[in-house]
């Protein structure tokens, strides 16, 4: 019983060094909207996603003819075609292509996790798929919330709490950290009505101001896809 793997939650990328020691699989979560967009892109047939940290790197790829998404503070960076609205990726013409993406928080978290042995991408959209995948691995899991500019954010924590709850309920995982317990409690209070629960959250207010309510609603709808994006070298592929 003591050999059961752990599932823990890290609230923001700058707390990652305190939590990473034991982690074998890191799940990067940015519900609004980077990891939701990445999951949607794979669901619609994108072959490979290359997360990059800076707009400059993204621009280099654009010059080379890649499909490139660049978002900062909720908006598409001028000069780019895509941001991180999941709806942009609901397009069958993208099938088989490679997408390069840079976002305010999500790709930063992905690079923070670069030291981890294995990295996968989680969101509410692929909640059950991620949980099933992790249950099969039997490894220590760290759920890394991307947060907002290194601050705690509610929607990523709730998604982490949802994954933690599924793994802990299986009886095959244990958790030790208060952050994990809190994430689970927050998820349990939120699960009946994510949209209502998050009505006062700062990021939802931020995106609502940008008229992104449809994006928010979609990103808060669990289990729209069974993709599990996984890191291979410096890019992501669908694990299936």
Residues binding a second copy (CB under 8 A) = 11-12, 14-15, 18-19, 148-154, 157, 176-179, 181-182, 185-186, 189, 200-203
CB of 49 to a second copy, least distance (A): 27
What torsion, rounded to 10 degrees, do the Cα atoms 95, 221, 52, 105 define?
A: 170
157 vs 225 by CB, closer to a second copy: 157
Q: Is 132 exposed, middle or buried (0-12, 13-18, 19+ CB in 10 A)?
A: middle
Burial class (CB in 10 A: 0-12, 13-18, 19+), 96: exposed
Nearer to a second copy, 35 or 157 (CB): 157
Q: Which is nearer to a second copy, 82 or 197 (CB)?
A: 197
What 3-state class would DSSP assign to 186? helix
- Minimum CB separation from a second copy for residue 26, in Å? 17
Q: Which is nearer to a second copy, 41 or 109 (CB)?
A: 109
How many helices (DSSP H) and strands (DSSP E) are in the chain?
Answer: 10, 10
User: What's the closest the beta carbon of residue 90 comes to a second copy, in angstroms?
Assistant: 28
The least distance separating a second copy from the CB of residue 150, rounded to whole angstroms, comes to 6
Fill in the DSSP letter of residue 120.
E
Tokens 């074998």 identify what position?
24
Best CA proximity match to 133, nearest among 218, 220, 25, 44 = 25
Min dist CB 177 to a second copy, Å, is: 6
Cβ distance to a second copy smaller for residue 174 or 237: 174
């Amino acid at each position: 019983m003591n050999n059961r793997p752990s599932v823990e939650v890290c609230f923001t990328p700058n707390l990652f060094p305190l939590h990473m020691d034991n982690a074998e699989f890191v799940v990067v979560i940015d519900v609004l909207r980077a990891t939701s967009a990445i999951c949607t892109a794979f669901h619609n047939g994108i072959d490979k996603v290359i997360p990059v940290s800076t707009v400059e790197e993204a621009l280099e790829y654009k010059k080379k003819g890649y499909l490139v998404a660049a978002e900062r503070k909720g908006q598409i960076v001028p000069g780019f075609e895509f941001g991180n609205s999941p709806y942009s990726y609901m397009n069958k013409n993208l099938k088989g292509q490679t997408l390069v993406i840079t976002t305010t928080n999500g790709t930063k978290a992905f690079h923070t996790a670069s030291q981890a042995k294995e990295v996968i991408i989680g969101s509410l959209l692929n909640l059950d798929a991620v949980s099933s995948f992790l249950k099969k691995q039997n490894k220590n899991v760290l759920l890394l919330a991307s947060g907002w500019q290194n601050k705690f954010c509610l929607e990523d924590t709730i998604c982490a709490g949802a994954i933690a709850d599924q793994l802990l309920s299986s009886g095959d995982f244990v958790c030790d950290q208060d952050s994990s317990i809190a994430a689970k409690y927050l998820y349990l209070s939120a699960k009946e009505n994510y949209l209502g629960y998050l009505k006062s959250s700062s990021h939802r207010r931020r995106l609502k101001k940008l008229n992104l309510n449809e994006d928010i609603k979609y990103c808060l709808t669990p289990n729209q896809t069974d993709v599990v994006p996984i890191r291979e070298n410096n890019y992501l592929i669908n694990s299936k």
